[in-house]
Amino acid sequence: MQPDRVALFGGAGFIGSHLTERLLDDGYRLTVVDVDSEKIDGFLSHDRLDFYELDIREAEDETVEEIVDASDVVVDLIAYANPKQYVDMPIEVVHLNYDQNLKLVEDCVESDTRLIQFSTSEVYGKMGGRQGDARVFSEDSSDLIMGPVENHRWIYATAKQLLERMVHAHGIENDLDWTVVRPFNFIGREMDYLIEEPDAGTPRVFASFMSALLYDHPMYLVDGGENRRTFTHISDAIDAVVSILEHEERYNREVVNVGTPGNETTIHDFAYLMRNVYEELSPTGDLPAIEAVSSEEFYGEGYEDCERRIPDAEKLEAAGWDPQYDLRETLEEAMSYYIDRYERAEPISLD
Ligand code: NAD
Ligand code: UGA
């Protein structure tokens, strides 16, 4: 049965705001719960959207239960999702990303509501084979390998992993219908926030480098930028999430990677590619310096990086998912939005 009312917890964040826009376009009725509405302010008066400005940690249990009960599907996106937060406030990360989200899982069990739980590619851990052959991460066969406890950056991945295991266990013991989504570095417009000065915050890498380009401060390569990521354009990612939402029979009780395997790069090459695209889109803009920094200097003690992660995207591809954006196109589309918004009076055409 096609869902009608969808609840998006954390639906005003980066992924949530794109999902909100797409699901409203597609005719769904939405309930969005978030502490902040800024990224979806343009939709708040939509007649098929109910917005609850709530901190899930302080919300009345009954309010959350009623929202879950009234929905055909709950999509849970709430989390601290930024590595600097894992290093700076590890306990709060577990409290929100595990304890609070587990309550939502239990509400879904109680009301027999289907759950799409956002997890992370970080659950695969740190060993993607940089020193040897690349290991592609598969949902049902790859081992999940974290670093030592003293490198507490892994607290986010372990909290998400335990949440995945609890979702799975509720499927076995309590008949919960669920899908776990593991995103691989989605990027695009509305990601995190921009910083005008280098010490004004630590957004994730795309927003961090975009800020450096717009506000002319250095692009910092953590530990030289040798580690790799596989980036996915947000609109390809949203296509995948909508396909999961609309095909319960295919994805029920499955863990699903969402990532574009061909879009792998080192962070070093990513920085130079962003500079290159910026030069093309904004020929009069200054190009910032690129500087290497140690991870301890950049994030603080307790950080350890994932060296490489490439998704096995077979589950989505078998259902016809066909990502449209290679890495350069992803950057051209996302960066032109920021350049139009912050540097130009008149938007440019990419054609
Ligand atoms: P985001 O930070 O933009 O979105 C999270 C949203 O949750 C925000 O709007 C935030 O305001 C909301 N939120 C946080 N605490 C809350 C609280 N106490 N009560 C109510 N709302 C609260 O992050 P995102 O990139 O959109 O990520 C969404 C989900 O996907 C997260 O679970 C994240 O771990 C996961 N994820 C994202 C990526 C990615 O590439 N963006 C990769 C892996 C995993
Ligand atoms: C992110 C976050 O943990 C989550 O959003 C998400 O769960 C996960 O990705 C995912 O996609 O699964 P990470 O990729 O480490 O983790 O976060 P970024 O801030 O985007 O960093 C990517 C790489 O760039 C890392 O190697 C980091 O050290 C590096 N980096 C980051 C820089 O070199 N310079 C910067 O200014 C920022």
Condensed to tens digits (0 to 9), the pLDDT of residues 286-305 reads 899 999 999 999 999 999 99
User: CA–CA separation, 307 vs 227, rounded Å?
Assistant: 5
For residue 8, pLDDT beyond 80:
yes
Residues with catalytic annotation?
Answer: 156
pLDDT attached to residue 55: 98
Q: Name the residue among 185, 204, 207 with its Cα closest to residue 194.
A: 207
* Domains of the chain and any CATH numbers: 5-187+231-262+309-323 (3.40.50.720)
Average pLDDT over residues 33-62: 97
Residue 206 Cα to ligand 2 midpoint, Å, equals: 9
Q: Which two tokens stand for residue 213?
A: 């380009």
The band of 132, judged by pLDDT with boundaries at 50, 70 and 90, is: confident
Residue 297 Cα to ligand 2 midpoint, Å, equals: 15
How many C-beta atoms surround the C-beta of residue 135 within 10 A? 17
Q: CA torsion, points 121, 126, 128, 129, in degrees to nearest 10? A: 180
Is the CB of 259 within 6 Å of ligand 1?
A: no
Q: Which amino acid is at 67?
A: I
Condensed to tens digits (0 to 9), the pLDDT of residues 137-150 reads 999 999 999 999 99
For residue 269, CA distances in Å to 19, 226, 238, 263, 328 come to 29, 9, 26, 12, 11
Name the closest ligand to CA 232.
1
* Own/partner long-range contacts of 94-101 (Cβ < 8 Å, ≥24 apart): 94/155, 94/159, 95/57, 96/56, 96/57, 97/156, 97/159, 97/160, 97/163, 98/159, 98/160, 98/162, 98/163, 100/56, 100/57, 101/76, 101/163
Q: Which atom of ligand 1 is nearest to the CA of 78?
A: 7
Q: Which atom of ligand 1 is nearest to the CA of 96?
A: 18
pLDDT attached to residue 130: 77
Condensed to tens digits (0 to 9), the pLDDT of residues 144-195 reads 999 999 999 999 999 999 999 999 999 999 999 999 999 999 999 999 999 9
Condensed to tens digits (0 to 9), the pLDDT of residues 80-108 reads 999 999 999 999 999 999 999 999 999 99
User: CA–CA separation, 145 vs 124, rounded Å?
Assistant: 6
Residues with CB under 6 A from ligand 2: 81, 83, 120-122, 183-185, 204-205, 208, 220-222, 225, 227, 229, 267, 305
The band of 347, judged by pLDDT with boundaries at 50, 70 and 90, is: very low
Q: Which amino acid is at 279?
A: E
Is the CB of 57 within 6 Å of ligand 1?
A: yes
Is the CB of 203 within 6 Å of ligand 1?
A: no
Name the closest ligand to CA 205.
2
Query: What is the chain's length?
Result: 351
Residue 56 Cα to ligand 1 midpoint, Å, equals: 13
User: CA–CA separation, 244 vs 22, rounded Å?
Assistant: 14
User: CA–CA separation, 191 vs 203, rounded Å?
Assistant: 9
Q: Which atom of ligand 2 is nearest to the CA of 225?
A: 33
Is the CB of 38 within 6 Å of ligand 1?
A: no
pLDDT attached to residue 345: 56
CA 20 to chain CA centroid, Å, is 15
Name the closest ligand to CA 95.
1
Q: Name the residue among 86, 82, 108 with its Cα closest to residue 178.
A: 108
Q: Model-level pTM?
A: 0.97
Average pLDDT over residues 3-10: 96
Backbone torsions φ then ψ of 150, nearest 5 degrees? -65, -20
Q: Which residues contact 244 (CB under 8 A, 6 or more apart)?
A: 116, 179, 181, 251, 256
Type and span of the H or E element at 326? none
Pairing mode of beta strands 228-230, 264-266: antiparallel
